[in-house]
Amino acid sequence: MTRDPYCIAGPAVISFSGGRTSGYMLKHILDAHGGALPDDVAVVFANTGKERPETLDFVQECGARWNVQITWVEYDWDEPHRTRIVSHNGAARNGEPFEALIDRKGFAPNPRLRFCTSFLKRDRIDSYARYWLGWTSWSSVLGLRADEPKRVHRQRSCSGRRRTGATVQLPLADAHVTERDVLDWWADQPFDLALKSHEGNCDLCFLKARWKIEAIMRDRPDLARWWIAQEAKPGKSSAKGHCPDMRLFRIDREPYAALADQVARQGVLALSDPASEIDWEREDCVRTD
């Protein structure tokens, strides 16, 4: 008999990113278990502080409507295991955990050094499993779909994960779920995430394609401020001297200040061609959407 991919054997941590895909996954796992998770299956949401408030509200609403406990975690260097347990009310909304990480590192993450994903998300969720739940090995249940074969392959072959005690389960990929399936399902639900697909994750994540950044900046120019402020900080000094590029999230396109300026000048004109640039976001931020 074929195993139901949504029947999760514990101990396991379900990573809930606050996106539609992982929401779909969580509900299908709940349904496969008769509406309530086994005691040794936990759900964790890692808040970077740069999530949109709509995402935080969606996480809260999923927990309340589906009657499932979702533990919220944030990066905090001064807390045991660098992890703070928070709630919807107390969650950071102004990028505090992310900014604290950048300040501590002395430089911004970039597409080659995406330490924000590991420090703000993966390590916090793993810390929760190891130190709060006391597990030494567990399954990490991620919402990667069948139409994301590169990400699926990378997660399945990623030996680095095994060091942490977690092995990966990908129920959506196993169930051959695609983005279309997810969107169709949400269209029938009584509630939804109040964001367009390109608006999820950290609000102006540097992995987003340029057209997404521009579209978001057009709607919400205020969001650029935080990213501009991070790039305005002094870069890290090292034995080799000061490296100004380390201040920037991307060196292959303009800094956020210049992007914001261009968007402000060009108003509602179509800016970048959506097909002209690789969108790294879905490819590279582990456990998002």
> Does residue 202 contact residue 51 with C-beta atoms inside 8 Å?
yes
100 touches ligand SF4 by CB under 6 A: no
Minimum CB distance to ligand SF4 smaller for 32 or for 118: 118
Report in angstroms the alpha-carbon separations of 230 from 50, 51, 84. 13, 16, 23
Part of the chain binding ligand SF4 (CB under 6 A), chosen from 71-79, 170-178, 199-207, 265-273: 199-207
Contact set for ligand SF4, span 249-288 (CB under 6 A): 285, 288
Burial class (CB in 10 A: 0-12, 13-18, 19+), 133: middle
- In the set 117, 140, 169, 230, which binds ligand SF4 (CB under 6 A)? 117
Whole-angstrom Cα distance, residue 86 to residue 122?
A: 16
Part of the chain binding ligand SF4 (CB under 6 A), chosen from 126-134, 154-162, 164-172, 197-205: 197-205
CB 121 to ligand SF4: min, Å: 6
207 touches ligand SF4 by CB under 6 A: yes
- In the set 26, 30, 68, 116, which binds ligand SF4 (CB under 6 A)? 116
Minimum CB distance to ligand SF4 smaller for 6 or for 211: 211
22 touches ligand SF4 by CB under 6 A: no
Q: Running DSSP on this structure, what letter comes out for residue 5?
A: T
> Does residue 178 contact residue 25 with C-beta atoms inside 8 Å?
no
- In the set 33, 105, 114, 218, which binds ligand SF4 (CB under 6 A)? 114
Helix axes 256-266, 224-231, angle to 10 degrees: 140
Burial class (CB in 10 A: 0-12, 13-18, 19+), 87: exposed
Q: Which two tokens stand for residue 166?
A: 């977690």
CB 231 to ligand SF4: min, Å: 13
Question: How many residues sit in the footprint of ligand SF4 (CB under 6 A)?
Answer: 14
205 touches ligand SF4 by CB under 6 A: yes
Whole-angstrom Cα distance, residue 174 to residue 12?
A: 17
- What beta strand segments (E) does 19-132 contain? 41-46, 70-75, 83-86
CB 176 to ligand SF4: min, Å: 26
Contact set for ligand SF4, span 23-62 (CB under 6 A): 48
127 touches ligand SF4 by CB under 6 A: no
22 SS3 class = helix
Task: Note the residues at the interface with ligand SF4 (CB under 6 A).
Answer: 48, 109, 114, 116-117, 120-121, 201-202, 205-207, 285, 288
